Structure 1
Amino acid sequence: MTSPRRSAIAVRRPIGVAGSGGSVAGSLIRRLGASRMVTNTGAYLLGTVINRLFPLLLVPLYTRVWSTGEFGAWGFCMTVLNVLLIVSGLGLDAATTRLYYDHHDPHEIRRFLVVGFVLRIAVAVGTALLLFAPLVMIWPWISGGAIPPLPFVPLLLVGSSLQAVVAFNLANARAERRARAFIQIQLSQALLQAVASLALVLAGWGAAGAFYGYAIGAGIVALAAGARFLRRNHTPGPLPWGQMRENLAYGIRTLPVAMSTWLRRMADRVIIGRSVSMTDLGLYQLSASGMAPLSVLMGAFNAAYLPFFYEKRRQGEAALPLIAAMDMAIVAVLAMLSVAVMAVTPELIRFLGPPRYAGAAHMTPALVLAVMLDGIQLQFTKELMFHKRPGLASWMTTPPSLLGVVANIILIPHYGAIAAAWIAAIVSATILIGCIAATRRVERTGHDLRRLALACALVAGYALAASEALPVTPFHLPALAVRLGSGALACAAILLILAPGNIRTVLKALGH
């Protein structure tokens, strides 16, 4: 008697059944490796991480070569540089990335890009010229007289103008999915700036040497990338100069969102340096450097993910379940990375600076929490950007950021820099709630908000424990075991909250 044939269905284990973890993991890895989205995103992620990693690796040198006050002065100038990059950009890089997908004819795309390139340079140079005299005049007031305006003001303005050319070429490469060019620009800039800054700082140029190095690296890359862009996009005939109005209209509407990001993450440094001391700012700056690995990964991934998102989003409502599942998967990874950084914060701070910076370890968990909440917020604001509603995102981000500045002005003189760290987390949470509400007004995206809220609350609780309750002695095995053990439990809970259902949806999509 022949035995009945075993059905293939009978031996196939569904995702999530006990004992199937290895097969699920293997399937996930194979599908991820075959996915064009994942390979492209991975390339962009690698380039951005490398670009951001080199400055971070210089921090341990700066903290040991400079005094705490001089390191604080460097952090203050970096804060000003970041706001100059935002103001001189006018949101034009975001406009290039988004409006690129409204054009289809190759000749039309080249004309669009050339006009955008000319506009980007004109705005950056014009902004630098307009801001030079006012910035020199108010510099002693905003720096508390601790930093001379020369050579820092010219260096910051020149650096921001040169970076405009680099940033436009990065936005162009990302929109066109030219991962190789994207990585080349990021890597060459990181290497040149790191080498030039390192040489000048070691030669005794102080904090100014770091900004000379920044300008040198940005200038070389801007010339090379700009020349390659013009060769690649040479187009005869008249150009659609009217396109500038659309670029500016879209870009300026995104400017409040970018400015609110600066207000949340960097205005506190100006207030600390102005109302407390550059030494306290040095401690706060190092605690912010402790959150840098997470911030780098988050920013790099979101920048890399946007082209895929816009492409999928053009497919209509059919893509919403996949996008929601991918967003929740991103949130899960982001939350677990946040917990991991919090768990090793004392060791990270000890690596970045000598023992006199030990107090920074108490501020880092709150700043990491703020970065995580900002990353989650981006998963919702990108929907508003797709629907060309950046003004709505601005209303959700700007008022809480301004209230955060007011709270910093009131509380920092009384409670010190630790107040700024927790205010940043509270403001980020408020903005996240507002952006979710705004997105749901435009479109119901299918995100499970209850599970999202539970995961955020869990990470917030761990941040509070890491800052106030868990042992913070660096490289002390019992203390490290407590932090790693509690962090592992928190990560397991995050997976249980966010993974069910979303992994299956992503796997199914990657299988096609």
Structure 2
Amino acid sequence: MSTGRHIRHLAGETIIYGIPGTVNRFIAIFLVPLYTRVFSPADYGVYGTLTSLTQLLGTFVVLGLDNASARWFYDTEDTGRRKSVIASWFWCQFLVSVVLALGLNLLAVPIARLLLGSADYAVPLRLALWVIPLMAFGRVLGNWMRYRRMPWMNVAYSVAASLAVVTGIILLVVVFQKGLAGLYQGQLLGWGITALAAVALFSSWIHPRHFSWKLLREMFAFGLPLVPAGLASWVTASSDRVLMTMFRGATENGIYYAAVQISLGMALLTSAFQLAWGPFAFSILNEPGSPRVYSKVFSLYAFLGCWLALGMSLFAPLLLFIFTTPKYYGAASCVPFLVFGNLAMTATYI
């Protein structure tokens, strides 16, 4: 297959995989005015910090098996062994998530006091921790669909999951007025429903009989060395919210988090590309022209990404004017640093 045809194929899958990201961005934009009016800046800042912490823990519990599973999945054409790859990853991530959530729940009060500024936030923290095991279902299912080149099914599931979660949030926060705790109760409701749907879709692939300790150890040899890199990426991309809350307070972090939410529009490019890139890159690994394809893709990514980041930086004040209140307008100065940082972070995956 020619270089041009490879790139057109990758572009097509990037557009398809970008649909859930686009939906999520619209949902995020829809929720920003809601959050900034229902929650105080301090509560909104705590929400941003808890989001960052769950991202950190979510990165850790994967143990690099998302990358390892792609390598082992494409190493064989045997369906039974491929099922062992998926099942071993799923059960490892799910059980590690449950154990971690149990342990940190016991320490919720001191953690809330240290990282969130008040022990009053221990309840939202506990609820947020239980979201992590439920997200294992969607994460493994999404990768399984990408490995099998089922982009439209992946899109349908991802969009349905997003709508289920946002419906749960609106129900608990707006209708029942449960506050910040209700936000995470809504997430638990939504992710619980999507977890049941995931089991219905690929239960035969994650049946415990397919679990293999031997295969898991082999995958660990590939995946575990990548964990520090994932944690380092979190430090670069998301630790700012934790540090802002610890050193400047939850209220100031709430204002800063508005800039973070606006800058996430950059994910319309980067997240879709990242999802499509991994399986695509591995699928042409042994073809003679693959190095040239990789080089061309990087050049196109840098060119298009820089123009998008520049546009978002210029229009940040307008976006904040439309979707927030005057107390958040000062966040516009942070947007250029965030969008170009996001662009550079994703470039490391190529």
How far apart in 2 are the matches of 1:238 and 1:202?
43
Distance, in Å, in 2 between the alignment partners of 1:264 and 1:345 is: 22
> Does the C-alpha gap of structure 1 residues 201 and 33 become closer, same or farther in structure 2, counting only changes over 3 Å?
farther
**Residue deviations 1:193-252 (CA, integer Å, cap 9, x gap):** 1111112221321222221121111111111112321236769x7754311112233222
Q: Distance in 2 between matches of 1:121 and 1:284?
A: 33
Corresponding residue of 1:225 = 198
Look up the match of 1:303.
Answer: 275
Question: Which residue does 1:50 correspond to in 2?
Answer: 23
- The answer to whether 1:331 aligns with 2:302 is yes
1:62, CA displacement in angstroms?
0.8
- Which residue matches 1:353? 324
Aligned position for 2:112: 139
Alignment of 1:369 with 2:333, yes or no, is no
The verdict on how the C-alpha distance between 1:173 and 1:238 changes in structure 2, with shifts beyond 3 A counting, is closer
Residues paired across the two proteins, number: 346
Q: Is 131-140 or 280-289 further displaced after alignment?
A: 131-140
Contact 2:168/2:189 (8 A) holds in 1: yes
Aligned ranges for residues 36-75 of structure 1 at < 5 Å?
36-75=9-48
User: Matches of residues 23-34 of structure 1 in structure 2 within 5 Å?
Assistant: none
> Does residue 378 of structure 1 match 2:338?
no
SS across alignment from 2:178: helix
**Equivalent in the alignment of 1:410:** none
Which residue of the other structure, out of 159, 171, 174, is the alignment partner of 2:143? 171
- CA contact under 8 A between 1:97 and 1:174: conserved in structure 2? no
Contact map agreement 1:169 1:225 (CA 8 A) in 2: yes
CA contact (8 A) 2:19 2:155 kept: yes
User: Which amino acid is the alignment partner of residue 188 of structure 2?
Assistant: A
Q: How does 1:351-500 map to 2 (within 5 A)?
A: 351-379=322-350
Indicate which of 211, 214, 218 corresponds to 1:242: 214
Q: Which whole-Å CA distance do the structure 2 matches of 1:255 and 1:59 have between them?
A: 32
Residue identity matched to 1:305 = W
Aligned to 1:193: 165
Write the distance in 1 (CA, Å) between the matches of 2:126 and 2:187. Answer: 13
Letter in 1 for 2:133: S
Among candidates 69, 89, 107, match of residue 96 of structure 1: 69
Percent of aligned pairs with the same amino acid: 25
Amino acid at match of 2:230: A
Residue by residue, what CA displacement relative to the aligned partner does 1:468-500 show, whole Å, maximum 9, x if unpaired? Answer: xxxxxxxxxxxxxxxxxxxxxxxxxxxxxxxxx
Q: Residues of 2 paired with 1:216 and 1:57: CA distance?
A: 20
Deviation at 1:158, TM superposition (A): 0.9
Distance in 1, matches of 2:251 and 2:109, equals: 23
**Residue 367 (structure 1) shift:** 1.3
- CA deviation string 1:447-470 (max 9, x = no partner): xxxxxxxxxxxxxxxxxxxxxxxx
Contact 1:269 1:285 in 2 (8 A): yes
Indicate how the Cα distance of structure 1 residues 220 and 53 shifts in structure 2: closer, same or farther if over 3 A, else same. same
Contact kept, 8 Å, 1:58 with 1:198, in 2: the verdict is no
Q: Which residue of structure 2 lines up, in the alignment, with residue 486 of structure 1?
A: none
Provide the rounded CA distance (Å) in 1 between the counterparts of 2:206 and 2:211.
12
C-alpha displacement of 1:147: 4.3
Alignment correspondent of 2:78: 105
Are the counterparts in 2 of residues 286 and 352 from structure 1 also a CA contact under 8 Å?
Answer: no
- Residues 268 and 234 of structure 1: is their aligned pair in 2 closer, same or farther, counting only changes over 3 Å? closer
Counterpart contact for 1:116–1:244, Cα < 8 Å: yes
| Equivalent in 126, 132, 141 of residue 160 of structure 1 | 132
TM-score of the superposition, structure 2-length normalised? 0.91
Computed over aligned residues only, the root mean square deviation of the Cα atoms, in angstroms, reads 2.3
Deviation at 1:126, TM superposition (A): 2.2
Change in Cα spacing, 1:104 to 1:222, as seen in structure 2 (3 Å) is same
The aligned counterpart of 1:123 is: 96
* Higher RCO by CA contacts (8 Å cutoff, separation 6 or greater): 2
Moved more, 110-119 or 81-90: 110-119
Q: Which amino acid aligns with 2:115?
A: I
What residue identity is the alignment partner of 1:55? Answer: A
Counterpart of 1:149?
122
Indicate conservation of the 8 Å contact 2:90/2:136, yes or no. Answer: no
What are the ranges of 5 or more consecutive residues in structure 2 without an aligned counterpart? none
C-alpha distance after superposition, 1:38-72 (max 9, x if no partner): 33332222133324542342112111222222211
Q: What SS does the aligned partner of 2:204 have?
A: helix
SS at match of 2:149: coil
